[in-house]
Amino acid sequence: MKAAKHFVAVDLGASSGRVVSGNWDGNRFTLDELHRFPNGPVHVFGSMFWDVLRLWSGIKEGLAKFASMYRTSPDGISVDGWGVDFALLDGSGSLIGNPHHYRDPRTNGIPEKLFRRTPAENLFQRTGVQSLQINTLFQLVSMVESADCRLSAAKRLLMIPDLFHYWLSGEQGVEYTIASTSQMLHCRERAWNRELAKELGIPAEILGPIVQPATVLANLRSEVGRECGFDRPVPVIAGAAHDTASAVAAVPGLDRQSVFISSGTWSLMGVAIPEAITSKEAFSRNFTNEGGASGDRLLMRNLNGLWLLQECVRHCESEGRNHNWETLVEKARLAPPLRSFVDPDAQEFLAAPDMPSAIRGYCRRTGQAEPQDEGSMARCCLESLSLKYREVLDDLESLLKRRFEIIRVVGGGSRNRLLCQLTADFCQRPVVAGPAEASSLGNVMLQAVATGFLNSIDEGRESIAGSCELATFEPSRDASFSEAYERFRNAKASPTALAP
């Protein structure tokens, strides 16, 4: 038997980061969490930043724990994380200031101002990406508008995962999938739209080389290797640096007939397609085209996922009522079905200080029964999210003129059996759930592809399918689910009541 290979995956999220060992025995993957560390915005004089030095310390601590646990060096290291945010480097490669958080107020009003010069639909046709205030493009335009000296001093822009790849390897490049979140790539050419940058006053020379997914950048810098306790060279690999692309790479069985959902605080629902779709219909329905690990495009909608339910739990905890998720989901299962629905993406839910009150207010405004207890509130959140999935499924089928036969759910939400069953029922499609640790598995699998231990992403998906338990949920053929979908759509369209 071949000796097992060990790859280190660094997953960076908006609230925490973690370092995981992904172990490959030639047939199956297993994961061992080595280290978890906090993340979050740092507020200074009204601005919001990321503490990237604290994240760097957390990454190195995780690498040192690998050396201590395995008494050897890993066969690869790769970082994935959230999109849109970036760091600026000077000519010597030093960091210029702390990277801003995507919710920093510097972009307030910037999209509206820019759209007066370049309409939103024009930007969509040129980049394929939905215009969101948080996007890299609008962050950079805000720096141009304010004559920010950091931008004029910059020689290189790196997205957040690329910054850590640089600190690990010494190589400055921007991986394709994370670059695609910036709204600064050509929608067809998979290269920087330097013409757009120049039009907007963004110095195009800071946009460095695009690196394709599953690329070995260089070996780990020797000083980092010594500090972490490694005894031999370690490849640093640009896998799929965008965590969504990494998760989608790990979806078993993803094919032309499949819709994927990466389910967590946010839900990203879509399909893999060869080329971007930038039609008026795609623009009007708020789709975005981002990079996939196979060099393809992920045509997706970004949705508020389990955010509403998480905020309900947080509000209960702030009042001294603690809940575990299993108990809450069981209460939701026992609550009366199909009573109240909300649009998870409604503006009032984006930053509601009291989510239960916001949900009751929405139901009151639309003439529905107000959920009063924890079970009915949780049921409302889960049913509403499942109904939103049905809406996106309909939009995808309308846009692409074909029917999708199966929904494949990965991420933390794949563990929620009630949500998966409701998704199957409302969408009237079988749902295959798992793996829950999709981003880490995708990260590790792409490292195995980059180093030649796997031949392709398709082969890697087959191995992932054999490495985890997948659950299948068949849809109920109950007409009440279709009737509920019509009520959901009517409640969205008008504040007039359509109570059950």
Q: Which of 181, 175, 165, 163 is nearest to 8 (CA)?
A: 165
R_g of the chain computed on alpha carbons: 23
290: nearest Cα among 270, 266, 318, 320: 270
Beta-ladder partners of 100: 49
51 is catalytic: no
Q: Rounded CA gap, 118 and 6, in Å?
A: 48
Cα(138)–Cα(142) distance, rounded to whole angstroms?
6
Cβ neighbours around 478 below 10 Å, total = 13
End-to-end CA distance of the chain: 62
Which CA distances in Å does 477 have to 320, 341, 392, 432? 41, 20, 20, 18
Identify each DSSP E strand in 331-461 by its residue range: 406-410, 431-433
List the catalytic residue out of 11, 75, 104, 243.
243
From 200, 198, 192, 177, select the one nearest 111 (Cα to Cα).
200
Q: Which residues of 12-42 are buried (b: 16+ CB within 10 A; e: fewer)?
A: bbbeebbbbbbbbeeeebebeebbebebebe
453 contacts 5 by C-beta, under 8 angstroms: yes
Q: Identify the three-state secondary structure at position 346.
A: coil
Closest CA to 351 of 314, 379, 315, 311: 311
Report the catalytic residues.
243
